[in-house]
Amino acid sequence: MNRIKHIYIFITTVIVASFSVSCNDDFVNTKPLDQVSEADVWVDGGLAEAFVTEIYNGLNDGGFNEEMLASTTDEAIFTHPGRGITTVTESRTNPQDVINWGDPRLRWNSLYSRIRAANIALENLAEPQFENTDLADRLKGEARFMRAFFYHQLLRIWGGIPIIDKAYTLNDEDFSAPRNTYEECINFIVADCDEAFSLLDGKSMESGRASAAAALALKSRVLIYAASDLHDITTASANSSVISSFSNPALLGYTSGDQTSRWQAAQTAAKAVLDYTDGYMTSLAAPATAEEGQQYYENMSLSKNGGEAELIFARYFINAKIEDGSRAALDNGPNGYHNWAGNTPTQNLVDDYEMMDGSSFDWDNPDHAAAPYENRDPRFYATILFDGADWKPRTADVAAKDPANQIQTGTYEIIFDGEKVNYFGLDTRQSSVEDWNGTRTGYYMHKFINKDPSIIDQNTRQEIPWPELRFTEAMLNYAEASIELGQEDEAKAWLNKIRYRAGMPEITETGDALMDQYRNERRVELVYEEHRFHDVRRWMIAPEKFGEQAQIILVEGKLKTGANVTLYQYNTDNYDYTYTVTDLDPGFENRQWLDKMYFMPLERDEINRNESLIQNPGY
């Protein structure tokens, strides 16, 4: 299938005022050649499609922003100061100082502007003025889906928000609207997903466009959130005094009804996805080899060699457009390759990758501590670049310093002029190559970054799609709901499909241990895909996970007796390596969790514009 190109097409409404002047009326009524009137758009199927296509631009660059949402969580640290990330991680957010999200998909105004566009399309397509009714149905389905998608983004950040299902005009007397309850918002989004599914079912869609499967997948996500503890006010209030003291709890979650029934609805919605479409390599009867597991995970993250089958809805990129979303390698790669190291993995994340036998990694285990990067979950090697990891050839100006093409994030002894001296790795903040872009954690991202040696520095880009919705998320949603409903064998059957593909042994835990195992599985499988920020909050485990200081690794290589190394290369024959876990410098970022952060604040300017809005608790 062809990929939607997200061509920026601007449909301009031209309003020509009538006035009397002593000139030729034909001249006055001449249509501009570079604009299209609103009336002309909706009588032409091609122009109507162009309008709906433009709504997709609300996806921006997907999650491939220089400041990724991962860096507001325990997945990553944002390397560069002054970008507002610490406003969230230090719980300093307030109505006057709301983080300036790098991603418009996380901004109130940007999301509502796209919702308005979807409303315009739906109003004008209600009774199509062109003959192609099949096209009209498809466009209505896409507009319904996109409206639901943008509303779900608002809902999972702010809780209940105003539901606007019409396009305001200058003839409207009142533009203010109160927040709807959380339950009303869920019902509205689910209804849009259901309608989108009915309109798109059976239609062959281009990659990048909404589809019937995407409608089902979005519904699954929305209902798994709705069933979670954060949105069951009885449970949430027991866990948070900030929520229990809020006078408008219906804005945050369900104040009546049964949480079990919501888990049942979530399970049904997830199963509908699994029954409707297929994923990638989910039918293995036993674990893949470690090599296969790593390759399968890379195939999915890079959408190659069949891994693209995993995508249900994604934002695609083409290099000809020179989009920021195609520069994940530049934004996150090692400074020793002239990259910017924007979002670097934390030691907290690294420690959560299991050993190959399914046991937990443990720094108190001498074997683990001596070789922390050996014999780990294959997904670790497809996600994290660590000290000594093989990587691409260096750029021409650096190649002579590292002919082995290995990541260097430590400090090592070498022989210089017959004396031992300390040498700082090329990928550190003391590097001879762009040290200001060096990692603060001792790691770099590998996931979403192509190994292709032609994609090295800021002069090259990559066409890796951003996964908005993928099949494995639905598998995990189904497993989570099944655990909550006490159907542990059913949950483990689906979790083991994911683990077999990764080359990991099956899960055997039960009870609370099974839930812990599930949450860790979701953590490593969906890492850097913008789930962690929302998952930790909806599970209400944020004080533990987001409240602790981020940890980093310090790597040292000491020359063994008799070793005569003048040009550094990772080699255990020549070096004894030590690995020291420590906290990130609190002067750079001092993480803490306050319960107000379960919901972001509404900006002061929004409340000033709309006095009907109620502020979230804690602000």
534 part of a folded domain: no
- Using the 3D structure, point to which of 224, 257, 277 is the last residue of a domain: 277
498 part of a folded domain: no
- pLDDT at position 194, please? 98
Q: What is the CA radius of gyration of the chain?
A: 26
419-424 and 444-445 strand pairing? unpaired
Same domain, 268 and 198: yes
Residue with tokens 């962690």: 532
User: How far is Cα 508 from Cα 226, in angstroms, rounded to an integer?
Assistant: 28
The conformation of residue 521, written as its DSSP 8-state character, comes to: H
- Number of domain units in the chain: 2
Same domain, 337 and 408: yes
Residues in CB range of 387: below 8 A, 6 or more apart: 373, 407, 408, 409, 410, 425, 442, 553, 555, 570, 577
Same domain, 61 and 198: yes
Q: What is the pLDDT of the chain when averaged over all its residues?
A: 93
Can you read off the two tokens belonging to residue 525?
């499988």
Contact indicator for 13, 38 with CB cutoff of 8 Å: yes
Contact indicator for 335, 437 with CB cutoff of 8 Å: yes
Same domain, 268 and 337: no
341 sits in the region (left: phi over 0; alpha: psi -120 to 50; else beta) called left
Residues 231-240: what's their mean pLDDT? 98
* pLDDT one-digit tens code per residue, 177-205: 999 999 999 999 999 999 999 999 999 99
Same domain, 236 and 333: no
Q: What CATH code is carried by the domain that includes residue 32?
A: 1.25.40.390
User: How far is Cα 138 from Cα 136, in angstroms, rounded to an integer?
Assistant: 5
Same domain, 172 and 36: yes
- pLDDT at position 31, please? 67
* pLDDT one-digit tens code per residue, 25-36: 555 566 665 667
- pLDDT at position 22, please? 41
The residue type found at 389 is A
Residue 585 has pLDDT above 70, yes or no: yes
Task: Residue 484: name the closest of 302, 264, 309, 297 by CA.
Answer: 264
Contact indicator for 307, 296 with CB cutoff of 8 Å: yes
Confidence of residue 274 (pLDDT cuts 50, 70, 90): very high
Residue 18 has pLDDT above 80, yes or no: no
Confidence of residue 458 (pLDDT cuts 50, 70, 90): low
- pLDDT at position 32, please? 66
Same domain, 322 and 429: yes
Q: At 137, is the secondary structure helix, strand, or coil?
A: helix
Quick one: what percent of the chain has pLDDT higher than 70? 93
Residue 529 has pLDDT above 70, yes or no: yes
211 part of a folded domain: yes
Confidence of residue 24 (pLDDT cuts 50, 70, 90): low
- pLDDT at position 151, please? 98
Same domain, 572 and 432: yes
The dihedral of CA 516, 518, 519, 521: what is its sign?
Answer: positive
Residue 5 has pLDDT above 60, yes or no: no
* pLDDT one-digit tens code per residue, 126-165: 999 999 999 999 999 999 999 999 999 999 999 999 999 9
Same domain, 230 and 349: no
Task: Residue 140: name the closest of 52, 208, 209, 58 by CA.
Answer: 52
Confidence of residue 454 (pLDDT cuts 50, 70, 90): confident
Contact indicator for 497, 296 with CB cutoff of 8 Å: no
529 part of a folded domain: no
User: How far is Cα 374 from Cα 361, in angstroms, rounded to an integer?
Assistant: 11
434 part of a folded domain: yes
3-state helix, strand, coil in the chain (%, to 5): 45, 10, 45
Contact indicator for 190, 219 with CB cutoff of 8 Å: yes
* pLDDT one-digit tens code per residue, 81-119: 988 899 999 999 999 987 766 688 889 999 999 999 999
- pLDDT at position 29, please? 60
Residues 204-232: what's their mean pLDDT? 98
Residue 38 has pLDDT above 70, yes or no: yes
Same domain, 29 and 131: yes
SS (H, E, C) 394-441: CCCCCHHHCCCCECCCCEEEEEECCEEEEEECCCCCCCCCCHHHCCCC
Residue 9 has pLDDT above 80, yes or no: no
Q: What is the number of other CB atoms lying within 10 angstroms of the CB of residue 415?
A: 15
Same domain, 357 and 442: yes
Residues 61-80: what's their mean pLDDT? 96
The dihedral of CA 226, 230, 236, 239: what is its sign?
Answer: positive
Same domain, 435 and 556: yes
* pLDDT one-digit tens code per residue, 155-184: 999 999 999 999 988 888 888 999 999 999
User: How far is Cα 138 from Cα 155, in angstroms, rounded to an integer?
Assistant: 26
* pLDDT one-digit tens code per residue, 315-372: 999 888 888 899 999 999 999 999 999 999 999 999 999 999 999 999 999 999 999 9
Confidence of residue 2 (pLDDT cuts 50, 70, 90): very low
- pLDDT at position 170, please? 83
- pLDDT at position 73, please? 98
* pLDDT one-digit tens code per residue, 368-395: 999 999 999 999 999 999 999 999 999 9
The conformation of residue 315, written as its DSSP 8-state character, comes to: E
Residues in CB range of 237: below 8 A, 6 or more apart: 243, 244, 249
Confidence of residue 453 (pLDDT cuts 50, 70, 90): confident
Quick one: what percent of the chain has pLDDT higher than 90? 87
Confidence of residue 23 (pLDDT cuts 50, 70, 90): very low
Residue 577: domain span: 317-464+551-583
Residue with tokens 């660590």: 386
388 part of a folded domain: yes
- pLDDT at position 100, please? 66
Spell 1-19 as b/e; 16+ CB within 10 A means b.
eebbebeeeebeeeeeeee
- pLDDT at position 320, please? 82
Residue 1 has pLDDT above 80, yes or no: no
47 part of a folded domain: yes
259 part of a folded domain: yes
Residue 247 has pLDDT above 80, yes or no: yes
Residues 65-71: what's their mean pLDDT? 94
